[in-house]
Chains A and B, each alone.
Chain A
Amino acid sequence: MIPELGHFTLVLALLVALVQGSLPMLGAARGRADWMAVARPAAFLQCAATVLAFAALTWAYVVSDFTVLNVVQNSHSAKPMLYKVTGVWGNHEGSLLLWVLILTIFGAAVAGFGRNLPPSLKARVLGVQAWVAIGFFTFMLFTSNPFERIWPAPLDGNDLNPLLQDPGLAFHPPLLYLGYVGFSIAFSFAIAALLEGRVDPAWARWVRPWTLAAWTFLTGGIALGSWWAYYELGWGGWWFWDPVENVSFMPWLLGTALLHSAIVVEKRDALKVWTILLAILTFSLSLLGTFVVRSGLLTSVHAFAVDPTRGLYILLLLVIAAGGSLALFAWRAPSLKAGGLFAPVSREGGLVLNNLLLATATATVLLGTFYPLFVEAFTGGRLSVGPPYFNATFLPIMLPLVAVMAVGPMMAWKRADLAGVLGRLKFVALAAVLAAAATWYIQEGGPVLAALAMGLAVWLFLGTLWELGERVRLFRVPAGDSWRRARGLPRAAWGMSLAHAGLAVAMAGMIGSSAWKQEEVRVVRPGDEVALGGYSFRFDGAQRIQGPNYLSDTAPLTLLRDGRELGTLYPERRFYPVQEMHTTQAAIRTNGLYDLYAVIGDPQPGGAWTLRLYLEPLVPWIWFGAAFMALGGLVSLSDRRLRVGAPRKAAKAAAQPAPAE
């Protein structure tokens, strides 16, 4: 009964979305306020219906209702409750439902907080949101219904893929989707602006916080996914340039560009057309990321044809969403008025360079990710595009970006004095050169790229601090004055500094782990000691432990340094009987500067085990850095909330909308 309710509310949500996507749009075109006013209640109703549908599916998972096909395929009665709940989105149908749930919640948020939006803009934004939702609802109802029943019901389910039974991966998709879907708001605003034929700073004041929120979530989601890969896949890698990673990375890259260009629209009323285009492309890439992962297109071309209805539907949706909005852009963009002027050397100019490099980097990832498909389609040949390609093409684009990142924030709007800015950064430049030289010296030659990149990371980190120091006039005025200035700085400035410094920290982590990783692989018997990086690991024999729904072989490793016991590491190898799968659980001990990473492999005859040990220098910094970046986003967002929608001259009387909630 409850699954039927879920199915029913899903259909209801689709019907409401159809109304929301048509009537308010028509109303906006004909200037009928009563039609436009439909959008608000419709967005609430659509959200409520989707919440109910999601609750119904969650219920089916929680009580292990094995008459629901989706539950049978992805759950098991012995699964811990946490993974019963997260299993709701650990599959194709359920994750679509989560996606559209977030979409409708965001839509309702726009409806709720958007009281001071011009009515026609609001009606159009919600209308576009509804059309995105319609695409998802129909996709679900026609090809991937999560509420499909199965009869007779099996006694138990097939269990969730064991790799997904992990806290890291359990919360990776929701964060990722919050990011993807957040960009849908920027997209809807972009389409609505094209329909309106008008972009003004008030528009940017709305788009920016949503973009910022989406970017923050996406940063968190990607970092969480990478962290998961690091500790779960068992060889200490954290980024593989895998197609599945790349498709989530592309919206992040372009979203970062959008974030920066939206600043220019807001502050200087320039780059409007470009920002609209970025909003459309970023969301199109989010859609691509959502669907390509499911279509099987990237892992194998044949999987695309295996389920022709699903694959074709996906293709159709993408073509309509991306193609349609780009066509609209081509038609309407020329009518948008160009705004403020600026000299090439200026804050705006720096942000244009940022956009240029980020857009090129996105294009590079896109090219590398999809090229094998094109080659196979046109010549039938099979190619691999792997890390060596991306290192050779992506890094040369990103390193100059890092170089200008330290300079950009110090430039003045409209027209800046580059030589003056560089002069102010001379001590930072000196420190960066020293850091590069020191790196070069410590690693005794070694990879040139590592030394260069380390110098750049230091340049960015210190440059960011220096900019902050100048703003609060540190050491030039008494410390108390500096403190007051620091408190008075807008939160957005703090957010930027945090995010930029975070990238520098993450960069150092990436360099450390790629360039100076140490490893040791051995077959060990109880009592054996393995040395790595000044530490010694003593293997004391493996034990078999029964978990809630798995069997575990745990191998306690005593960690020693100079004969002193420091503690014990517990690497595990788990066997999930329902899916007949093994997973590895790495044991990681970190001191904040480097990780000691241990994995056990397969049992060998005579009580021996394969042991893989890694010393991963600076790796924790990758996630510290990512956390700083996300924190920067949040801090900046808290600033927006206070000021958004209240341009000093125009809408003083309007209520504060706080769209970022």
Chain B
Amino acid sequence: MKRLLTLLLVCFSLPALAQELRLEDPELEERARDLQREIRCVVCQNESIDSSQAGIARDLRVLVRERLQAGDSDEEIKAYLVARYGDYVLFRPPMRPETWLLWFGPAVTLVLAGGGVALAVVRRRRRAEGGPAALSDEERTRLKRLLQEDSEKGGPA
């Protein structure tokens, strides 16, 4: 905790150049901001170059704008930064075999857990059906009607 705070502090106390070049083209400027939010300030603790006041973050902000003006695509700029600082500089980890688990993990978890729940429900219903004598069709419709009335009333709390 303390370590993190200290690091955070380093990022705030370094001199910041306030009036930065804003790109005149609003579309380019927006792209610059979007990119900045995805690029990590490498000397800070978990902060993007967009919010960091560290010197290197400012340099990178200038660099991003220069590259955008030179006509580079977002991907080219990211590739350039990765070549210099490694994947660490990207807040959005690249999709590669070693990050498949990271990217697909949540969806796989949801599918597996959902499947498990569905299986449990089916199994329990089957077991329950095997239990007491099955209802006749007439009883079933009557039960359904009763239940429906019950749920229309809002049901018990």
| Size category, A interface | 35 or more
Interface-located stretch among B62-70, B134-142, B143-151? B143-151
- Return chain B residues, CB-CB under 8 Å to A416: 151, 155
- Return chain B residues, CB-CB under 8 Å to A385: 91, 93, 102
Does B109 lie within 8 Å of A364, measured CB to CB?
Answer: yes
Q: How far is the CA of A421 from the CA of B148 in the complex (A)?
A: 11
CB of B16 within 8 Å of the partner chain: yes
CB < 8 Å neighbour of B18 from A240, A397, A522: A522
In the complex formed, the residue of B with least CB distance to A95 is B1
**Minimum C-beta distance from B8 to chain A (A):** 7
Does A367 lie within 8 Å of B105, measured CB to CB?
Answer: yes
Does B13 lie within 8 Å of A368, measured CB to CB?
Answer: no
CB of B73 within 8 Å of the partner chain: no
> Which of B45, B93, B99, B125 neighbours the largest number of chain A CB atoms within 10 Å of its CB?
B93
Does B93 lie within 8 Å of A397, measured CB to CB?
Answer: no
Q: How far is the CA of A276 from the CA of B148 in the complex (A)?
A: 33
Per-residue CB proximity of B33-63 to A under 8 Å, as 1/0? 0000110100001111001010000000000
CB of B31 within 8 Å of the partner chain: no
Does A367 lie within 8 Å of B3, measured CB to CB?
Answer: no
Interface of chain B residues 97 through 123 with chain A (CB within 8 A): 98-99, 101-103, 105-106, 109-110, 113-114, 117, 121
CB of B130 within 8 Å of the partner chain: no
Q: How far is the CA of A523 from the CA of B4 in the complex (A)?
A: 29
CB < 8 Å neighbour of B102 from A161, A389, A583: A389
CB of A438 within 8 Å of the partner chain: no
Does B9 lie within 8 Å of A386, measured CB to CB?
Answer: no
Number of interface residues of B (CB under 8 A): 58
Does B105 lie within 8 Å of A163, measured CB to CB?
Answer: no
**Minimum C-beta distance from A197 to chain B (A):** 20
- Return chain A residues, CB-CB under 8 Å to B117: 352, 356
Does B3 lie within 8 Å of A522, measured CB to CB?
Answer: no
Does B4 lie within 8 Å of A582, measured CB to CB?
Answer: no
Per-residue CB proximity of B1-44 to A under 8 Å, as 1/0? 11111111100110110111000000000000000011010000
Does B124 lie within 8 Å of A234, measured CB to CB?
Answer: no
Does B51 lie within 8 Å of A237, measured CB to CB?
Answer: yes
Interface of chain A residues 200 through 250 with chain B (CB within 8 A): 233-235, 237, 240-244
- Return chain B residues, CB-CB under 8 Å to A31: none
With A383-B99, A523-B18 as known contacts, state yes or no: A356 contacts B3, CB within 8 Å: no
CB < 8 Å neighbour of B12 from A244, A387, A412, A582: A582
Does A161 lie within 8 Å of B106, measured CB to CB?
Answer: no
CB < 8 Å neighbour of B98 from A352, A357, A375, A414: A375
Interface of chain A residues 352 through 366 with chain B (CB within 8 A): 352, 356-357, 359-360, 363-364
CB of B128 within 8 Å of the partner chain: yes
CB of B86 within 8 Å of the partner chain: yes
- Return chain B residues, CB-CB under 8 Å to A163: 5, 8-9
CB < 8 Å neighbour of A584 from B12, B113, B155: B12
- Return chain B residues, CB-CB under 8 Å to A168: none
In the complex formed, the residue of A with least CB distance to B111 is A360
- Return chain A residues, CB-CB under 8 Å to B89: 384
With A243-B46, A581-B9 as known contacts, state yes or no: A299 contacts B124, CB within 8 Å: no
Does B16 lie within 8 Å of A601, measured CB to CB?
Answer: yes
Q: How far is the CA of A343 from the CA of B157 in the complex (A)?
A: 17
In the complex formed, the residue of A with least CB distance to B48 is A386
Does B105 lie within 8 Å of A364, measured CB to CB?
Answer: yes
CB < 8 Å neighbour of A602 from B15, B88, B106: B15
CB of A321 within 8 Å of the partner chain: no
Does A521 lie within 8 Å of B19, measured CB to CB?
Answer: yes
Does A410 lie within 8 Å of B93, measured CB to CB?
Answer: no
- Interface of B, helix, strand, loop or mixed by DSSP: helix
- Return chain A residues, CB-CB under 8 Å to B45: 242, 299
- Return chain B residues, CB-CB under 8 Å to A242: 4, 45-46
Q: How far is the CA of A414 from the CA of B143 in the complex (A)?
A: 13
Does B106 lie within 8 Å of A360, measured CB to CB?
Answer: yes
Does A386 lie within 8 Å of B92, measured CB to CB?
Answer: yes
- Interface of A, helix, strand, loop or mixed by DSSP: mixed
CB < 8 Å neighbour of A420 from B38, B91, B151: B151
Q: How far is the CA of A138 from the CA of B90 in the complex (A)?
A: 41
- Return chain B residues, CB-CB under 8 Å to A387: 37, 48, 91
CB of B71 within 8 Å of the partner chain: no
Does B86 lie within 8 Å of A601, measured CB to CB?
Answer: no
Does A389 lie within 8 Å of B91, measured CB to CB?
Answer: yes
CB of A124 within 8 Å of the partner chain: no
**Minimum C-beta distance from A365 to chain B (A):** 9
- Return chain B residues, CB-CB under 8 Å to A234: 12
**Minimum C-beta distance from B107 to chain A (A):** 8
CB < 8 Å neighbour of B154 from A357, A386, A470: A470
- Return chain B residues, CB-CB under 8 Å to A417: 148, 151-152
- Return chain A residues, CB-CB under 8 Å to B152: 417, 420
Per-residue CB proximity of A464-496 to B under 8 Å, as 1/0? 000000110000000000000000011001000
**Minimum C-beta distance from A247 to chain B (A):** 11
CB of B74 within 8 Å of the partner chain: no
With A299-B45, A420-B151 as known contacts, state yes or no: A388 contacts B12, CB within 8 Å: no
- Return chain B residues, CB-CB under 8 Å to A368: 102
Does A359 lie within 8 Å of B113, measured CB to CB?
Answer: yes
CB of A541 within 8 Å of the partner chain: no
Per-residue CB proximity of A297-336 to B under 8 Å, as 1/0? 0011001000000000000000000000000000000000
Does A493 lie within 8 Å of B9, measured CB to CB?
Answer: no
Does A382 lie within 8 Å of B3, measured CB to CB?
Answer: no
CB < 8 Å neighbour of A364 from B4, B93, B99, B106: B106
Q: How far is the CA of A605 from the CA of B142 in the complex (A)?
A: 86
Q: How far is the CA of A360 from the CA of B109 in the complex (A)?
A: 6
- Return chain A residues, CB-CB under 8 Å to B5: 161, 163-164
What are the 7 tightest A-B residue pairs by CB atom distance, in nearest-first order? A386-B91, A412-B155, A388-B92, A610-B18, A412-B151, A364-B106, A382-B88
Given contacts A367-B101, A388-B38, A582-B13, 15 further A-B contacts (CB under 8 A): A164-B5, A235-B51, A242-B45, A296-B3, A344-B121, A356-B113, A363-B109, A371-B101, A378-B98, A382-B88, A383-B93, A386-B40, A387-B48, A412-B154, A413-B155
Task: Give residues in B with beta carbon < 8 Å to A.
Answer: 1-9, 12-13, 15-16, 18-20, 37-38, 40, 45-48, 51, 53, 86-93, 98-99, 101-103, 105-106, 109-110, 113-114, 117, 121, 124-125, 128, 147-148, 150-152, 154-157
Task: Give residues in A with beta carbon < 8 Å to B.
Answer: 91, 161, 163-164, 233-235, 237, 240-244, 293-294, 296, 299-300, 303, 338, 341, 344, 347, 352, 356-357, 359-360, 363-364, 367-368, 371, 375, 378-379, 381-389, 392-394, 397, 410-417, 420-421, 470-471, 489-490, 493, 521-523, 581-584, 601-602, 604, 610-612
